[in-house]
Chain A
Amino acid sequence: MLLRVVDLHKRYGREEVLKGVSFFLEKGETKVIIGPSGTGKSTLLRCINRLTEPDRGRIWLEDVEITSPKVNINRIRAQIGFVFQDFNLFTHLTALDNVRLGLMRVKGMGKKEATARALQELARVGLADKAKAYPAELSGGQQQRVSIARALAMDPKLILFDEPTSALDPELIGEVLAVMEDLAKSGMTMLVVTHEMGFARSVADEIIFMEKGVILEQGPPEQIFYSPKHPRTAEFLRRITDLYGGNR
């Protein structure tokens, strides 16, 4: 098992956002998390690399316990990619520098080697010609692809995606989803929060439906989409297809 999450709890003030979430991820698997807004999906992803500290529960990346107080969290984070809804590219750095920063400053790689690797990752997301561009000179879709390249360059064991296309204009969503689909096919392990049901249906090995801080149902896309066991799942899917249309 590559990632194991057991009984995760998180509370903000009086509001309990995660109420005991457990699941796992095998190597090479893509799981998609869906669920209504405010359900704790982002909180869950951020707890996994401890950008947010969980209150209770344990998480393992392979055989290392991430939630152990003794762990060097920076070492763990370097092995877990994170792709944000609003990209969060470093605004003062070019695309190339964004991608090679982690290689040089976290992994201690030399400049030459880091540059070669960064260019390779930029090419992989179709942006070899934009290496010298600054984030503000790129479209949203291009920025998100740079941020995926930035995550990829670190050779992560797992990439977490938090609504990677939600901040994009509709015509730019496709290019990002295409990169993610390629990644999934190439054997990358991915945990994706998204409202893109088309992507979930065609790419996910398994779908996790979350509501109000708990996992209500999980299973292969066929089950979730065509014969959901939980009435809330069916209701959520009906609402989301009304909102976003069915075939994306």
Chain B
Amino acid sequence: MNLALLGGLLGLGFVLGVLIAILEVYGPKILRLCASVYTWVFRSIPEILLLLLVWFGPSQFGVQISPFFAAVLALGLRSSAYQAEIFRGALQSIPSGQTLAARALGLSRLGTIRHILLPQALRLSLAGWGNEFAVVLKDTTLAYAIGVVEVMRQARYIASRNFPLTLPAYILVALLFLAATYFGLFVIGKLEERLRIPGLEARR
């Protein structure tokens, strides 16, 4: 359950994050402002509050959404704001000469973003992305507050039925998170290695 949640929120966060970063850097002024407000809002509200807002908000207007969907939405929106900042930093660190050369070839603004800037920015943001992964992995346990049957909740079940198992259950959960983080960062590390541009970045 946590993994599905993680996949959902990272995916949502990634797509939105990249879009918002592009708007923030290259969009028209008004959209740029919207993007800045967006990242400000979703980085300011405590995640547990955000979760509750998304969960209870719609039901006030008679719209029922599943706790799982609410969790993906709330955590995904929040993650997208952080991911947008990661990509924005990466986009802005690309030297302006890259854009000049692309435009001089006759590439359109969009073509330049797609073929020149995005591929470079995605590589540059891998390290930041690894960090975000480690953070949101732990955030998935918050979904327990709105009743998603995720791993923390299951540990609580076990603990409430069989008191002596409380500590082992929590330790098991901790171990699961250790393993998941290790595995995730391992994959991202491999990806970084695969995508390293020869001669450009220092080897580790």
Contact = CB atoms under 8 A, between A and B. Distances in A.
Given A84-B100, A90-B98, A136-B200, A102 B123 contact: no
Interface stretch (A71-79, A109-117, A184-192, A240-248): A71-79
Nearest to A103: B105
A76 B123 CA distance: 32
Contacts of A101: 105, 107, 115
Contacts, number: 72
| A contact residues, range | 20 to 34
B7 interface: no
Interface in A67-88: 74-80, 82, 84, 86, 88
Interface residues of B, number: 22
Contacts of B98: 88, 90-91
B100 A75 contact: no
B97 A84 contact: yes
B102 A51 contact: no
A106 B106 contact: yes
Given A134-B197, A134-B199, A137-B199, A88 B108 contact: no
A137 B200 CA distance: 8
B147 interface: no
B103 A136 contact: no
Contacts of B108: 74
Interface of A: 49, 51, 74-80, 82, 84, 86, 88-92, 101-102, 105-106, 133-137, 147, 150, 154
> Which 7 A-B pairs give the minimum distances between C-beta atoms?
A78-B106, A136-B199, A88-B101, A88-B97, A137-B199, A82-B104, A136-B200
